Structure 1
Amino acid sequence: MPRPLPHRLLAEYLGSLLLAALVIGSGIAAQRLSPDDVGLQLLENAAATAVGLYALILVFGPVSGAHLNPAVSLADAVLGGLPWRDVPAYALAQVLGCVTGAVLANTMFDTAPISVSTTERATAAHGVSEVVATAGLLLVIFSLVRSNRAALVPSAVGAYIGAAYFFTSSTSFANPAITVGRVFSDTFAGIAPTSVPVYVLAQLVGVAVAVPLLRVLHPNPVATTAPVTEGQPR
């Protein structure tokens, strides 16, 4: 049986908070540890994000599905896993969690708790990258879920995001909530507010691309559960 909605929203909030703290905090640490090597900074940020995301999905997956991402919640609703009435609450919890996580990361590294990013990222290449990154993430998650291999999702998502840091020019945000959260940290992982609409629109396009592909690739899913439930139907 699904957990009560307040329990699931708490899991989404905490998971999103820790995700943002992980992404932004590891970016700050990388920038300080390797100040003269941007490639090494990206590698350190990607590695920390990949392994941390694996752990977060293991922790929060059995409670809420560990979406931590409005794009995942939206796709799950379209595919029949998450009730539509829960989508706005999930998205709000995810955005609030990511903003809080950004403030926490800034505080842990003794910078201003809130600092609006000045890093402009809105280019056509970045937009295409976010479509690819988001669609790919959804294909990874829901292909495994719909073929009854949900237990593999934590490791597969961590591996995919770690790789996507390098094969996309946008470094694979693939998540509207983390995109908003990263506005509030003018550090290595930040994004300027003016770039957010391009990223979020591209991520929604990624959802629109992934869902029809999933229906073609997996027309008769073995399981139609939320993304992560330790391989068991809810």
Structure 2
Amino acid sequence: MILFLDLSAQESKLNVDFDIRYRFESWNNMNVKYYGESGKNQIGSVNDDFLLQRIITGFDFKPTEDIEMSLHLQDSRAFGWSLSNNQFPDAFKVGDNKTSNSYYIKNPNEEFFELYDLSFKFSNILNNMSIIAGRQKISFGDNKIFGPGEWGNSGRWNWDAIKVEYLLDDLELNFWTGGTKINDPNVTSIPFFNTEYYGIGSYDRIKVSNNLHFEPFLAS
């Protein structure tokens, strides 16, 4: 469901949206952590059947032609999953499990009441330049070069980043720096405070003709 609401005569606009997705998965002789019978350290069922639910709701608000805000919440759950956070809260720890501050959680299916995005876009800075700051999806090249990781139920690769865009008719330049957020069912992460990978990247699109484009990119 998508709802559009004009707030004033100056083309201020509020776009409220709601998305719910279900997917049933059946895993035969494997689960997310193990393949086949893996011995005494194995957890969960190797014949795992569960129903995934993901809800994303929020709004995009454009008070002026050059300023835009986006805020969405996400709730992801896995019903009947043998590796649920309730049963195995430490199953998806990444890092050194011996100390309390040297690991983070990357749960692929569960994330309760999380900030999906929270970003501000400032357009027409120096004519053709825009800046987007905050939690955001970064994707280019029809999601083939940098993709948003939408298949996973918790939604991998949300960036807490600052991105600069420069757009002309035949040239598109994009640069960003930031970190990817964690996926912890028990933590509502704050942008720029709960990140996993830090890095920089760029994606450019150069139009040579109607049938020929170059798309150089860099990620580090």
TM (norm. structure 2) is 0.29
Instruction: State which structure, 1 or 2, has the greater radius of gyration over its C-alpha atoms.
Output: 2
Structure with more of its chain in strand, by fraction? 2
